[in-house]
Structure 1
Amino acid sequence: MTNIIFMGTPDFSVPILEKLHEQFNVDLVVSQPDRPVGRKRKLTPPAVAKKAADLGIDLYQPEKISHPESVEKIKSYNPDIIITAAYGQLLSEDVLNIPELGCVNVHASLLPKHRGGAPIHRSILEGDKETGVTLMYMAKELDAGDIIASVKTDILESDTVGTLHDRLSELGTKILIKELPAILNKENSRTPQNDADATFSPNIEKDDEYVEFNRSAREIFNHIRGLNPFPGSYTTINGQRLKLYLSKILKSKSKETPGTILKDTKGGFIVSTNDYDVEILEVQPSGRKRMPAFQFIENNQSLIGQVFGVDNDS
């Protein structure tokens, strides 16, 4: 019987763990430690840790997977293979060398493009037309190991990071379950990556969330949907944050300063950019819930003519 360790942390990894355990039986789940969540900073287990508990699988949540104590814990399960999906920590060589069949990762991009921690966000932010999932052997360098298999999907105009996240999680589950028997039997193919084609997609930082309207409508459109629903993009008006969740590119072009709120519409309100105007369709004012943009502007008519990102009270 094959001994399998699964390492993962967020929602993306949950369907993969479920199907893997159902089809092959997982002996140990390794996930990130519980973290404070929300305004009350309540200590909360990550999604994969919750699922492991539901499934009755042994769970281990080390602060550092590379720590000697962690390495010994992994060794104690005598794994034949380690499978990871959005775990969130780099595996040291000490861990990579433990399983006879190696460490296999489900990565949410078409490697070598979008190596790193935020491939789904960055694929939309950068305006890619397609993305996918790559099943790969893990190596010391980040996301640089040999490719076992990959599957593609188009990035639709209607996609947000949320919809694409769910689709890639499903594709990742399918490709792992399809390829794993060959991997376990040492019959799978493996293709080295071309490092010259590699691009990197670092984690989303706070500065990445701010929307600059002095850019093209297409860039703004991709920015807003590329952070919807998590972590969300935002702008400021009269010193207050306004999160932006949905927008649409229009055919009109305004000569007003980029970021000017031009007028309200049935769906929301129109804002100028450095080329085509955009219509903002869904927002979240500071301290309130998400709402249709027409509802927000209906209650804030005085904002029409003002400019996002400028202190309009001065």
Structure 2
Amino acid sequence: MSRPLRVIFAGTPDFAAESLSALLASRHDVVAVYTQPDRPAGRGRKLTPSPVKALALRHDLPVHQPATLKAPEVQAELAALEADIMVVVAYGLILPQAVLDIPPHGCLNVHASLLPRWRGAAPIQRAIEAGDDESGVTIMQMDAGLDTGDMLLIKRTPITATTTGGELHDTLARLGGETLVQTLEALAGERLAATPQPAEGVTYAAKLSKAEAELDFRRPAAELAARIRAFNPWPVAWCALGNDRLRLLMAHGETSAPDATPARPGTLLSPSADALRIACGEEGDQVLAVSRAQLPGGKAMAVRELLKARAERFTPGTRLGHHDEESPA
């Protein structure tokens, strides 16, 4: 058997912690962990370590938290670790070429999409929002571009009609850790060749913002339902209900009856037993069926239960969202 690799791990959020956990369970040696500086969190704004740092400390690993990797002294410290390879998972800092060149095996990235589709910041949510029927993880040899490096290993997973952003995140986090360890085993045995990304099919996954979470019911039902699932659990799709925000957590498009009279987009139709039914589409001739929602101050719950508790808030004919026909921000 080939010798274990000496690995520097760089990552910050929960997604990255899954890969670090998989590495720690493998035969390879994590010699140091790099993560973002502690950030204020919670009501008290107390400085809080990242999930990756918390995991590293539980395993007595050396932790480094530089504000940048561009400083010569930081690069010298990294080189002194004499690692074979650096693994980067949602780290949050740009790796300059000088850092990419330090480890003999270079730097690997665990990316949550089937590259070259969905390069960029939010590949998980954008894949659901776009209606993709599958996603996956790509282990990539990093270069100076934005997710443009050669591919080493790809694993796929389906996206179903009920997959949420949170569920796909958790699935890909686990898959990413497993695939990373497989990649390191293959590299240690020199059994893996890199494949350049194809020039066709490149898309970019823009960073999510709270501003885009407000729904425009003039959009098609399938598009709205996909956005609702993609934005669960963050930033959470919503619409105005009077002076309140109604948070929408699960939905699907519903076929309108051939003789149904179109309603203005955003109008509440007669509910089914399990869903709020909202007229949508440019002509109001489509139906968005929302099966899970949350009122301000309340818990997220199935619409069946919400209707039992607060039916008076959901009278057919009530109009949700904008009344002045302006597009949401």
Q: Structure 2 length normalisation: TM-score?
A: 0.88
CA contact (8 A) 1:101 1:184 kept: no
Aligned equivalents of 1:69 and 1:261: distance in 2?
61
CA contact (8 A) 1:224 1:232 kept: yes
Segment of structure 1 superposing worse, 295-304 or 15-24 = 295-304
What is the match of residue 256 of structure 1? Answer: 263
What is the match of residue 322 of structure 2? Answer: 310
How far off is 1:228 after superposition?
1.0
Task: Give the alignment of 1:128-147 within 5 angstroms.
Answer: 128-147=132-151
What is the match of residue 118 of structure 1? Answer: 122
How far off is 1:27 after superposition?
1.0
What is the match of residue 290 of structure 1? Answer: 300
How far off is 1:308 after superposition?
1.7
Segment of structure 1 superposing worse, 249-258 or 205-214 = 249-258
CA contact (8 A) 1:90 1:142 kept: no
SS at match of 1:277: strand
What is the match of residue 274 of structure 2? Answer: 267
- Structure 1 stretches lacking a partner, 5+ long: none
What is the match of residue 231 of structure 2? Answer: 227
Segment of structure 1 superposing worse, 223-232 or 37-46 = 37-46
Segment of structure 1 superposing worse, 61-70 or 129-138 = 61-70
How far off is 1:237 after superposition?
2.0
CA contact (8 A) 1:237 1:311 kept: no
CA contact (8 A) 2:247 2:293 kept: yes
What is the match of residue 21 of structure 1? Answer: 24
SS at match of 2:178: helix
CA contact (8 A) 1:261 1:306 kept: yes
Structure 1 position 203 matched with structure 2 position 204: no
Structure 1 position 3 matched with structure 2 position 10: no
Segment of structure 1 superposing worse, 295-304 or 133-142 = 295-304
What is the match of residue 12 of structure 1? Answer: 15
CA contact (8 A) 2:136 2:155 kept: yes
Q: Which amino acid aligns with 1:262?
A: L
CA contact (8 A) 2:252 2:290 kept: yes
CA contact (8 A) 1:148 1:190 kept: yes
CA contact (8 A) 1:4 1:80 kept: yes
SS at match of 2:119: coil
SS at match of 1:158: coil
Aligned equivalents of 1:53 and 1:169: distance in 2?
20
SS at match of 1:264: coil
1:160-181 deviations in whole A, cap 9, x for unaligned? 1111112112221222111212
How far off is 1:137 after superposition?
0.2
SS at match of 2:40: strand
Aligned equivalents of 1:67 and 1:289: distance in 2?
47
Structure 1 position 37 matched with structure 2 position 44: no
SS at match of 1:242: strand
What is the match of residue 327 of structure 2? Answer: none
CA contact (8 A) 1:5 1:79 kept: yes
- CA RMSD between the two structures: 2.0
Q: Which amino acid aligns with 2:267?
A: T
CA contact (8 A) 2:278 2:289 kept: yes
Aligned equivalents of 1:66 and 1:292: distance in 2?
49
How far off is 1:295 after superposition?
4.0
How far off is 1:126 after superposition?
0.5
- Specify whether residues 138 and 55 from structure 1 end up closer, same or farther in structure 2 by C-alpha distance, changes over 3 A only: same
1:283-310 deviations in whole A, cap 9, x for unaligned? 2223433233344444252442222222
What is the match of residue 97 of structure 1? Answer: 101
How far off is 1:18 after superposition?
1.0
Q: Which amino acid aligns with 2:66?
A: P
SS at match of 2:103: coil
How far off is 1:186 after superposition?
3.6
Q: Which amino acid aligns with 1:15?
A: E
- Specify whether residues 246 and 40 from structure 1 end up closer, same or farther in structure 2 by C-alpha distance, changes over 3 A only: farther
Between the two proteins, what is the percent identity of the paired residues?
A: 35
- Specify whether residues 285 and 41 from structure 1 end up closer, same or farther in structure 2 by C-alpha distance, changes over 3 A only: farther
How far off is 1:123 after superposition?
0.3
CA contact (8 A) 1:5 1:26 kept: yes
Aligned equivalents of 2:115 and 2:103: distance in 1?
23
SS at match of 1:79: coil
Structure 1 position 301 matched with structure 2 position 312: yes
CA contact (8 A) 2:222 2:252 kept: no
The number of residue pairs the alignment matches comes to 312
- Specify whether residues 136 and 252 from structure 1 end up closer, same or farther in structure 2 by C-alpha distance, changes over 3 A only: same
